[in-house]
Amino acid sequence: MSDRSVLSRLMQHDLGSRIFLGLLLLVGAGMPLAHLLLPESSFLHPSTYTLGLVGKYMTYALLAISIDLIWGYCGILSLGHTAFFALGGYAMGMYLMRQIGTRGVYGDPVLPDFMVFLSWDSLPWYWLGMDMFWFAMLMVLLIPGLLALVFGWLAFRSRVAGVYFSIITQALTFALMLAFFRNEMGFGGNNGLTDFKDILGYDLQATSTRIGLFVVTAVALGLGYIACHWIVRSRFGRVITAIRDGEGRARFMGYRVEHYKLWLFVFSGMLAGVAGALYVPQVGIINPGEFAPLNAIEAVVWVAVGGRGTLYGAVMGAVLVNYMKTYFTVAWPEAWLYALGTLFVVVTLFLPRGVVGLLESLRRRER
């Protein structure tokens, strides 16, 4: 009862957040129910494919929120946030690989196929423990968090900010991509990790497992959203916005600006890691392509399209752009990159506050 009142107080005066959480509840509970209860001939029956697609969009939305948290509220533009997403994904992928067991092509009970193929005779040390679900999930949080901590500490302590920070994050994700492409790294090289069989003993191909993953993703998105919302509404949140608008002034007031930025960055990195971990079992593969700088830029475009600094705008942008991508890459594949580029230019020139800003100004004009 008190939890509900805390939540309702948090969402006060925030129509966008209430609409988003309502929609999320509708989608997260409604779609699986409709899938199970309605006959396949019904218009409202979502196919397994649709469920998978929406599940994937929700992981993208979580990534978009993590970017909006640092970019929209603290002015830190990370062009390498997919590095955290992909690392979370790899941690989950490693767990799923260890679950394959003897069902692999080579039938080795311990070693994943690609290691047998490379004629390795034992697991590298960093694969140890990844067969335990709780340990793998801990790594999903810890590995991106640790990278964000070390990288952010070095960058913010030296007062690297603005476009320079964006460039080095881009370099970070590019370097990781090159590293993960190498077979010696022990992450499957070019092919990455795939051919997963089951998660926690449930068959990944089964519809019930897919619905389970869908619901877990919806819950994670909702909790991630509420956590970010809570952070930006706290006094900590007001300080980070102050840092965005006047870093020097905030420092002069006695705030340790680099600490604020660092903890926000670490939290954002962990959130992106969770998004990646939920993404991998739903799409069935993780490869170094996820580290590609282009992906990171695309994720930033989602946030820009939706509208910075609102959180729900980021979700809207992620869903909107990815729906367009799904549509275009089927209907007119050559045009997709042009459409993305045009979208970015149009949003930058005409919609500096994204779709959310457009909706708000329409609402104001109606009054």
Partner 1 sequence: MKLPKFIEDFADRSQVFDIVNPAVRSPKLDVSHGTILYLEDITVSFDGFRALNELTLYVEPGELRCIIGANGAGKTTMMDVITGKTRPDSGTAFFGQSIDLLRLSEPAIAQAGIGRKFQKPTVFPEHTVFENLELAMAGDRRAWHMLFARLTSEQCDRIDETLALIGLTAQRQARAGSLSHGQKQWLEIGMLLMQRPALLLVDEPVAGMTPQETERTAELLVSLAGKHTVVVVEHDMDFVRSIARTVTVLHEGSVLAEGNMADVQADPRVVEVYLGEPA
**Binding-site ranges for partner 1 (CB under 8 A):** 231, 234-236, 238-239, 241-242, 244-246, 249-250, 252-256, 259-260, 263
Q: How many CB atoms lie within 10 A of CB 207?
A: 13
* Terminal alpha carbon distance of the chain: 36
CB 83 → partner 1: shortest distance, Å?
A: 23
Based on CB atoms, which residue is closest to partner 1, 263 or 344?
263
Q: Exposure string (b/e) for 181-197, b if CB count within 10 Å is 16 or more? A: beeeebbbbeebbbbbe
| CB closer to partner 1, 55 vs 145 | 145
Q: Which is nearer to partner 1, 98 or 244 (CB)?
A: 244
Find the shortest distance in angstroms from Cβ 309 to partner 1.
Answer: 9
Report in angstroms how near the CB of residue 25 gets to partner 1 at its nearest: 27
194 DSSP assignment: E
Q: Which is nearer to partner 1, 177 or 239 (CB)?
A: 239
Q: What is the dihedral of CA 215, 9, 309, 244, to 10 degrees?
A: -130
Q: What angle do CA 31, 34, 40 make, to 5 degrees?
A: 120
Cα 257 to Cα 247: distance, rounded to the nearest angstrom:
7
> Closer to partner 1 at the Cβ: 257 or 297?
257
Residues 148/84, Cβ–Cβ less than 8 Å: yes
C-alpha to C-alpha distance for 331 and 22, rounded to whole angstroms: 31
Minimal distance, residue 153 CB to partner 1, in Å = 13
DSSP code, position 333: G
Q: Rounded CA gap, 149 and 136, in Å?
A: 19
Between CA 89 and CA 98 the distance in angstroms is 14
Residue closer to partner 1, measured from CB, 182 or 249:
249
**Residue 6: CB minimum distance to partner 1, A:** 12
| Cβ distance to partner 1 smaller for residue 9 or 41 | 9
Tell me the closest approach of the beta carbon of residue 77 to partner 1, in angstroms.
Answer: 17
**CB 250 → partner 1: shortest distance, Å?**
8
